[in-house]
Amino acid sequence: MGVKGFRGNDRSYFYRFKESDTYFAVFIPFDGNEATVGNGSMTGITFDSIEEVDQIYQRAIEAGAIAEGEPEQKMETFYGGYIRDLDGNKLVFCKMG
How confident is the prediction for the chain on average, in pLDDT?
88
d(CA 82, CA 42): 9
Q: What whole-number percentage of the chain has pLDDT above 70?
A: 99
Q: Are residues 25 and 50 in the same domain?
A: no
Count how many domains the chain has. 2
* pLDDT score of 1: 61
Q: Are residues 27 and 51 in the same domain?
A: no
Q: What is the pLDDT of residues 27-64, one digit of tens each?
A: 888 788 888 877 777 888 899 999 999 999 999 999 99
Q: Are residues 31 and 71 in the same domain?
A: no
Q: Are residues 71 and 95 in the same domain?
A: yes
Q: Are residues 2 and 31 in the same domain?
A: yes
Widest Cα–Cα separation across the chain: 39
For the ranges 20-24, 41-45, 73-77, the lowest mean pLDDT is seen at: 20-24
Q: Which domain does 91 fall in, by range?
A: 42-97
